[in-house]
Amino acid sequence: MRQPSVLLIFFFLLLHCSSTPIVELEKSDDSKETGETGKWATAQEINDRLGRGINIGNTFEALQAWQSPFVSGDLKRIADLGFTHVRIPIRWERDDRSMASSPYTIYPDFLAKIKSVVDEALKQKLHIILNMHHHDALYANPAAGKDRFLSQWEQIADYFKAYPDSLLFEILNEPHDQLTSVLWNNYAKEALQRIRETNPKRCVLLGTAEWGGVGGLRSLEIPDDPQLILTLHYYNPFHFTHQGASWSEGSEAWLGTKWQDTDFERQAVADDFKAAVRLANEKNIPIHVGEFGAYSRADMDSRVKWTRFLARWFEQQQFSWAYWEWNSGFGIYDPRIGQYQQRLVDALIKDPMPQQKNR
């Protein structure tokens, strides 16, 4: 082997020592450098890093009448349990948070509040998904609400453009009502274009029309963008997961519905996701299950069985997931007494997949 000259070695050392080190924002250990000249992780890599998550529900997406307070210490609790990301549902359209008419400004104090949540999540080595949740005016009258919707995404994207790739955006939660699948395909593409003006490489989550479920896949048009993750919500069987829920008409009659983890019930889940699995393979797009959960009025044995099976099955499909939710009607933590629903925590984080039953 030919030996390098002394001059060549000196030149290499001089070049190496004079390079300016990259200073990163505080973030999760697996996050990649995301500056102008740094490397961003792929959508699949980020979806792998998302892993197991939980929604901070009934908080920033709630109306003032039923809003739970945000407690920053909860993010440490969530990280200590073994979760690796949080989804932060946000109702940006509230009158105390943004203007309802042009220029549709999101108030600086509210942006600063969300920034503090993001910063604390990063401090706890959690990935974060910020979404747009309960945009009721847009659902009811898409044409009238479109400019505000797009303007808000311009503002959110610009405000957080310097953050690492462990921060993700989700365009809209559960499009429905007058925001039809045809309109949603167009609005989602336009919102993505606005985001890409300031965040060309950030991972963005795209959901389906018709309430965000697997049924909306048949009409979803996926933009040609390598940094997309498909997000789906799953609450089947609905009569089980929403029994006794006051906002679901007729749900009192569903009380007593059980989920017993039979082969038939497991197959129903697999059948529901067939189109999603096929699409993920065809389009090479990762899948995140952004919501799944069973309401507290279902019996605990059934809730544990359903939650455990879905969490493990999603992982077998290489889906990331976020349980609905942290500390309210579906929650795993009771803030009044400072205690966990330990069986649900274990179902999500610790329990292995049970053996199948032949019934």
Contact by Cβ (8 Å): 75, 86 = yes
CA distance 56 to 130: 11
Tokens standing for 60? 């920033």
45 included as an active-site residue: no
174 included as an active-site residue: yes
**Number of C-beta neighbours around residue 252 at 10 A:** 12
CA geometry: angle at 345 spanning 341 and 349, to 5°? 175
Which amino acid type is present at position 161? K
Q: Which residues lie below 8 Å from residue 282, measured CB to CB, with a gap of 6+?
A: none
Residue entry with tokens 């809730």: 303
Contact by Cβ (8 Å): 56, 91 = no
User: What Å distances lie between residue 105 and 95, 170, 189, CA to CA?
Assistant: 11, 20, 22
Query: Phi and psi of 153, rounded to 5°?
Result: -70, -35
Candidates 81, 79, 42; CA nearest to 345 is 81
Helix (H) or strand (E) holding 112: helix 108-123
82: left (phi over 0), alpha (psi -120 to 50) or beta: left
Contact by Cβ (8 Å): 288, 319 = yes
- Options 93, 265, 291, 325, the catalytic residue: 291
Is 36 exposed, middle or buried, given 0-12, 13-18 or 19+ CB atoms closer than 10 A?
Answer: exposed
CA distance 46 to 227: 9
- The half-sphere exposure of 249 on its side-chain side, counting CA atoms within 13 A, is 0
- Options 93, 120, 170, 174, the catalytic residue: 174
* Cis preceding linkage at 103, omega within 30: yes
Catalytic (active-site) positions: 174, 291
